[in-house]
Structure 1
Amino acid sequence: MKQAIIKKLDAELLISQKELQVDIPKVILTAREHGDLKENSEYKAAKERQTFLQARISLLQKRISDVTSLDIEKIPRDRSGLGSTLFLTDIKTGKEKQFHLVFPEDVDPDAGKISPGSPVGKALMGKQTGDEVMVLLPEQKIEYEVINVKTLHDKSEDDN
Structure 2
Amino acid sequence: QIPRILNEAGQHAELRTTLERSVREHSATSEMLAWLCNERESWSELVTPDLLGAIFSALEREQHNAPGRASKLHRTLVEDRQLLGDILRNGDVGLARDVMRRLQLSPLFDELTKRSLLARIVKVHPELESMITGSQAEEKAAPLIVSWSSLEKRKAEYEELVKTKIPENSREIALARSYGDLSENFEFKAAKQMQSVLLRRKAELEQMLHNARGTSFENPDTSRVSIGTIVTLRNAETNMEEAYTILGAWDGDPDRHIISYQTAIGQALLGHEIGETVSLNTEHGTAQFTIASIQPATPDRTPAPSPPSESAVEAVIAK
The letter of the residue matching 1:6 is: L
Shift in Å, 1:147 = 0.8
The letter of the residue matching 1:9 is: R
Aligned length: 153
Residues 69, 99 of structure 1: CA spacing in aligned structure 2 closer, same or farther, 3 A cutoff?
A: closer
Please identify which structure carries the higher strand content: 1
Structure 1: distance between partners of 2:181 and 2:283: 49
Contact 1:89 1:144 in 2 (8 A): yes
Structure 1: distance between partners of 2:187 and 2:180: 11
Pick the aligned partner of 2:237 from 76, 89, 92.
92
Pick the aligned partner of 1:2 from 147, 157, 171.
147
Structure 1: distance between partners of 2:249 and 2:214: 16
2:268 corresponds to which residue?
123
Shift in Å, 1:65 = 2.4
- Give me the TM-score of the superposition, normalised by structure 2: 0.43
Shift in Å, 1:120 = 1.1
- Give me the TM-score of the superposition, normalised by structure 1: 0.80
Which of the pair has the greater relative contact order for Cα pairs under 8 Å at 6+ separation? 1
Q: Is 1:65 paired with 2:210?
A: yes
2:259 corresponds to which residue?
114
1:122-141 correspondence runs (5 A): 122-136=267-281, 140-141=285-286
3-state SS of paired residue (2:290): strand
Residues 142, 38 of structure 1: CA spacing in aligned structure 2 closer, same or farther, 3 A cutoff?
A: farther
Q: Which runs of 4+ in 1 moved over 4 A?
A: none
Structure 1: distance between partners of 2:181 and 2:226: 55
1:8-87 correspondence runs (5 A): 8-68=153-213, 76-87=221-232
Deviations 1:128-160 (A, max 9, x none): 1111110135861021111111246xx55xxxx
2:287 corresponds to which residue?
142
Q: Which runs of 5+ in 2 are unaligned?
A: 1-145, 300-319
Q: Which runs of 5+ in 1 are unaligned?
A: none
Identity of aligned pairs, percent? Answer: 26
Q: Is 1:104 paired with 2:249?
A: yes
Shift in Å, 1:35 = 2.7
RMSD, aligned α-carbons: 2.6
The letter of the residue matching 1:147 is: A
Contact 1:130 1:145 in 2 (8 A): yes
Structure 2: distance between partners of 1:123 and 1:62: 26
